Amino acid sequence: MSIVLVGISHHQAPVELRERAALDRQRAAELAGALAGGRSEAVVLSTCNRTELYLADESAEAAEEKAEVALLALESKLGPALYRLRDEDAALHLFRVAAGLDSMIPGEGEILGQVRAAHESGATGPLLDRLFRQAVQAGRKARTQTAIGESPASVSSAAAALAEQVFGDLEGRSVLVVGAGKVGELAIRNLVSRGATIASVANRTGQRAEELTERFGGEALPLERIEEELVRADVVLSSTSAPGWILTREQVEHALHARKGRPLFLIDLAVPRDLDPAIHELEGCYLYDIDDLEAVVAETLAGRRREAARAETIVAEEADRFRAWQASLDVVPAITSLRARAEQIRDAELSRAKLNDAERRAAESVTAAVLNKLLHLPTIRMKQAAAAADGVIYADAVRHLFGLEDER
C-alpha cells in the first residue's frame, strides 16, 4: 500500500483558486467517501490555506490520478498549482502541516484542530488512520516542546496579550472602546475572548456604537463622556478617524486620582493617533500605538521562526517513526507466515509423540519457549531491515528458506 498526497496550498495557489477548491466539513467527508473504496483509504484536508487529498491505495499511480481528477473537478484551473507527494514525503508534509510549519504564520494553532477534524471525517483504514493519529501527535509535540505557538501573531492578539501582561487574567476587566470602526473590532474580539467585558462604546455617531454594544455588550456613549468613563475602565481601545487627540494627558491625569492606583492600559489603533503619547509617561499608564504593537508582533514572529527550526527536528523524528512503521508492514505477512509454519510443525510433532497429560503440558511449554526464542531475533532483524528499506529482500529470503512461497 502506498500513500499519495495531491493538493494545493497558499504557496502556489492564490486565494482566488483556493476558495474554489475549499470544502466544508460535510463536502470533504463526502469526497473522502467517494475516493475510498475496497482497500483504499482517503482523507480530505480543506482549510483556508490548503485543500489536500490523502489516499492510500495498492497502486500509487491510480490513486494519484483519482485525486487529481477529483481536485480538477472542483476547479479546472488548479492544474499548475497542484503538488504531488508519496509515502514518506507525504507523511513528512502532513506532520509539518499539523505542527503549523507549513502555515502562513509559523506555529498557527488552528491547523491542528483542522487536521483532527479531517481525520475524523475521512474514510480511513489502518494506514491513513495511523498517519493522521501520528500527525496530530507530532503537531501537539511540536507545540508543547517548543514555543512555536506561544506568542501572538497579529496586532489585535498582541494588544490583548499585552493587556494580560498588565492585569494577568482579563476576566471581568472592563474595556472602554472609543470609535466603532472595523479596525477595532478584531481587538475587541480578542479582548472579549480572553474574558474582558466591554463596559462602554463611545463613538461620534450613536448608531454604529449601538450596533457594537448589541454584539459585545456595554453601553453606547457620546465621545464627550469618555473622560468620566476612564475612572472605571481598565483598558481603553481607541480607533477613530479623528484628526486630533481624543484623549489628552491632562484628561487621563485627572481621572487617575479617582482610580486609586489601578493601572490603565491604552491601545491606540488609529492613524492619525487618537491618544496623546504623553499619557504613557503617567505612572500606571501604558499606551501602545499601532507601531509599538507591530514591533511586538514582528519580534514574536521572529521568535516563532527560531522555534520552527526546533519543531522541524521533532517533526522529522515523528516522520522517521512513521516510515519505520510503514516499512515494517512489508515484512509482517512473512513474519506471520513463518510463525504459523513453526506452530504447525510444533503441533504436528507434539501430536505424534506418545505422552501423558503432564508430559504433554511440559512439552508444550518447553517447545513454545524454544520456538519463541528461536524466532525472536529473526523477527526483530526483519523489522530492522524493513526500517532500513531492505524489508522486501529479507521477507523474500525468509519465504524462500522456509518454503513459505505458497502462503503469499
Q: Which of residues 249-268 bind other proteins (CB under 8 A)?
A: 260-263
* Binding segment toward other proteins, per CB under 8 A, in 104-112, 113-121, 147-155, 338-346: 147-155
* Shortest separation between residue 287's beta carbon and other proteins, angstroms: 9
Per CB under 8 A, does 15 bind other proteins?
no
Q: What minimum distance in Å lies between the beta carbon of 7 and other proteins?
A: 32
Closer to other proteins by Cβ: residue 17 or 175:
175
Q: What is the largest CA-CA distance in the chain?
A: 107
How does strand 197-203 pair with strand 174-178?
parallel
Minimum separation from the CB atom of position 26 to other proteins (A): 38
Residues 298-327 that bind other proteins (CB under 8 A): 298-300, 303
Please enumerate in sequence order all residues whose Cβ is within 8 A of that of 227, keeping only pairs 6 or more positions apart, or say none. Answer: 247, 251, 254, 255
Q: Which is nearer to other proteins, 39 or 254 (CB)?
A: 254
Q: Tell me if 371 contacts other proteins by CB under 8 A.
A: no
- Closer CB to other proteins, residue 307 or residue 318? 307
Least distance to other proteins, CB of residue 328, Å: 30
- DSSP class of residue 231 equals T
285 has catalytic annotation: no
Rounded Cα gap, residues 376 and 338, in angstroms = 11
Residue 229 backbone phi and psi in degrees, to 5: -70, -20
Q: Pick between residue 75 and residue 164 the one whose CB is nearest to other proteins.
A: 164
> Is the CB of 39 or the CB of 262 nearer to other proteins?
262
Name the 3-class secondary structure at 327. Answer: helix
Which residue in 11, 19, 37, 48 is the catalytic one? 48
Name the CA radius of gyration of the chain, rounded: 31
Q: How many residues does the chain have?
A: 408
Q: Pick between residue 37 and residue 284 the one whose CB is nearest to other proteins.
A: 284
Q: At closest approach, how far in Å is the CB of 209 from other proteins?
A: 29
- 288 binds other proteins, rule: CB under 8 A: yes
**Which residue stretch of 120-128, 209-217, 294-302, 351-359 sits at the interface with other proteins (rule: CB under 8 A)?**
294-302
Q: Which three cell numbers stand for residue 240?
A: 477613530
Which triple of cell numbers denotes residue 209?
456604537
Residue among 286, 314, 319, 387 that touches other proteins (CB under 8 A)? 286
Binding other proteins (rule: CB under 8 A), the pick from 58, 65, 145, 376 is: 145
120 versus 169: smaller Cβ distance to other proteins: 169
Q: Would you give the end-to-end CA distance of the chain in angstroms?
A: 15
**Strands of 50-57's sheet in order across:** 41-46, 50-57, 2-9, 83-86
Closest to other proteins by CB, 13 vs 293, is 293
Which residues make Cβ contacts (< 8 Å) with residue 228, sequence separation at least 6? none
Query: What one-letter code names the amino acid at 163?
Result: A
**Cell digits of residue 391:** 524489508
In angstroms, the CA 98 to CA 135 distance is 6
**Residues facing 84 on adjacent strands:** 6
Binds other proteins by CB under 8 A, chosen from 15, 73, 295, 366: 295
Binding mask 105-144 for other proteins (x = CB under 8 A): ----------------------------------------
Please identify which residue in 41, 57, 268, 292 interacts with other proteins, judged by CB under 8 A.
Answer: 292
Cα gap 51→159, rounded to integer Å: 32
Residue whose entry in the numeric block shows the C-alpha cell 512461497: 405
Q: At its nearest, how many Å lie between other proteins and the CB of residue 284?
A: 5
Residue 12 burial (CB count, 10 A): 14
We find the least distance from the C-beta atom of residue 373 to other proteins, in angstroms, to be 40
What contacts 171, CB < 8 A, 6 or more positions away?
194, 195, 196
Check residue 281 and report its DSSP letter.
G
Residues 153-212 that bind other proteins (CB under 8 A): 158, 161-162, 164-169
Closest by CA to 127, choosing from 61, 54, 63, 66, is 54
Active site positions, annotated:
48
Site residues (CB under 8 A) for other proteins? 145-147, 150-152, 158, 161-162, 164-169, 260-263, 280, 283-284, 286, 288, 292, 295-296, 298-300, 303
